[in-house]
Chain A
Amino acid sequence: MNELCLKSIYKNYKTKQVLDNISMIFKPGVYSFLGANGSGKTTLMRIILNLIKPTKGAVYWNGQPIELLGESYRDAIGYVPQHVPFYPNMKVYDFLMYIGTLKGIANHALKEKVEYWLKQVNLYDDRYQKIKNLSGGMKQRVGIAQAMLNDPQLLILDEPTAGLDPKERIRFRSLIANLSVNRIILYTTHIASDLEGLTDYVCILNNGCLEQLDEPENVLKKLAKQVWEVDILPEELIYIEEQYKVGAIEKHGGRIRVRLYHHKKPLPQAVMKEPTLEDLYLYYFSEGQST
């Protein structure tokens, strides 16, 4: 069974500390990294990919430091970057064939693999389209296909659903769920709702520190009996925001329905709710409110 191990990772950019003593062990499963912009998610992924070196600490793949593994580590990884670039003038099929060769896949197997993954990501009918003519969601699926060509044991997805419409997000989620068997999937996002029912472990990164790493149910337990929903008048919103940590706000008739986080019943009309991963995200990363 494959294992990825991070040992005391620190990363500084000049005087700014981006990652602060991150130690984790990953076994096959989906690990979701939740964090606000600038929390260090992308830097951590780049360190795991051996694209940048940590200031201190090391990453081990099956007990070996990744910088010593070189090519054999790169054989084991698949990566979907945050902004999928690609060569815009290439056709989808040609692009995947090209990437497959760069990944060192033998010719006789490559054609088969490209066709297989084009079907899996539902792009087979569009395989002769130029990449520049594809929608954002289709480009993300090209990204997944290229990452999967070498059958990676470690798949890293850096905010893959950013910029996708809801339908494409759902389709993307199903695709990841299908891929998660016997692989380590690291998935960074700040769209918590994407992770519902998908992730095996939630990792919360805040200002470069690992706040939590646990199964979603256990992480959510920490918010149990702290999530409340209350209907208020629009003019009361300012007061509520000053007093409580506020999550989602939505219009409900002439009133406003507010989701807020507090250890005891905040208002007489407040109704306790089951916490969701979105609550968890808002609890940790909403700005400027008191608890």
Chain B
Amino acid sequence: MTSFNDENMTKVKKDVEVNLDTFPVPTPNEKRIEETIQFIGTLLDKEDQVKQPSLLKKLRVEWTVTNRLVISLQFLILLFGLWMGIQASIEMTIQVIFLLSPLSIVVCLTECFKTKTFGMNELEWTFKYGTGQLFIVRLLIALGLHFIAVAPIVFVSGFLSIKHLVTLLIVWLIPAMLVAIFLLIISLYTPIHWNNVYIIGPFWLLLSILLIVQQNLLRLWIEMDITIHLCVFVFLLTIMMKVIWKYKEASSLE
């Protein structure tokens, strides 16, 4: 095997010169050089920057900045619900689920609205993932917290038959979603910097009173066929997605 010495190098240089003479390459202009540099830049991995964080990471980060008061309140609701589930009758427990589930979701929703409450829309729109995505992540956390707060009450209450369980889950999801939709619509039309807690509090109180007064209506609703519950659930889910989309559009500062 021969080594690559000065003699070889001279030969290679000569070959290159001959080839360049045979196949002339036009010298690119400044603009072309600049464009090539720009293009190469797009092919390189950007260090430290800037990949879209995974949903899990977004959730983890958002969780660290979720208001501790909101989390504590969820656990209080959970403890109270469990205590009721153990102590009281089934009917009483269902009422507790009905009353506590809106409170749980509306408290969580204050977290979803915090971009608007603190006037951060403008700034958050300039980040890699903006207000719309943030809202969805916060909504997922809110629903997660809500689930943690309310679902165990259902289990402890002894409804371990799958059919009952599914019915109950859907039954409390629907009032919670109704509240969420209502509050999202209100939030759309309230001026920036309004604290949504002041809207949510009285609304929950009103809803609770309404449910207590209308006990027969409550029973009627719970005893309805599961297919009806499912249809209503899908219908509400569609409306909710539309409202969230509208919320996103309205937050665009236009």
Q: What is the interface of chain A, defined by CB distance below 8 A to chain B?
A: 1, 46, 49-53, 62, 71, 74-75, 77-79, 81, 83, 85-90, 94, 98-99, 101-106, 109, 113, 146, 150
Contact = CB atoms under 8 A, between A and B. Distances in A.
Given A51-B125, A51-B252, A75 B50 contact: yes
B57 A49 contact: no
Interface in B63-79: 64-65, 67
B123 interface: yes
Contact of A98 (B57, B65, B114, B122): B65
Contacts of A104: 49-53, 127-129
A106 B48 contact: yes
Interface of B: 34, 38, 46, 48-53, 57-58, 61, 64-65, 67, 114, 118-120, 122-130, 134, 252-254
A7 B181 CA distance: 41
Q: Is the contact region of chain A dominated by helix, strand, or loop, or is it mixed?
A: loop
B49 A102 contact: no
23 contacts: A46-B253, A51-B122, A51-B125, A51-B252, A52-B253, A74-B130, A75-B46, A75-B49, A81-B123, A85-B119, A85-B123, A86-B120, A87-B114, A98-B64, A102-B129, A103-B128, A104-B129, A105-B48, A105-B49, A105-B50, A106-B49, A109-B48, A113-B48
List 8 A-B pairs, minimum CB-CB distance, nearest first: A104-B128, A109-B48, A85-B119, A102-B127, A104-B50, A79-B126, A75-B50, A101-B61
A102 to B, nearest CB: 4
Contacts of B65: 87, 90, 94, 98
Given A87-B118, A106-B48, A49 B125 contact: yes
B120 A150 contact: no
B126 to A, nearest CB: 5
B57 to A, nearest CB: 7
Given A75-B46, A101-B53, 13 more contacts: A46-B253, A51-B122, A71-B50, A75-B128, A86-B118, A98-B61, A101-B57, A102-B124, A102-B129, A103-B50, A104-B51, A105-B49, A146-B123
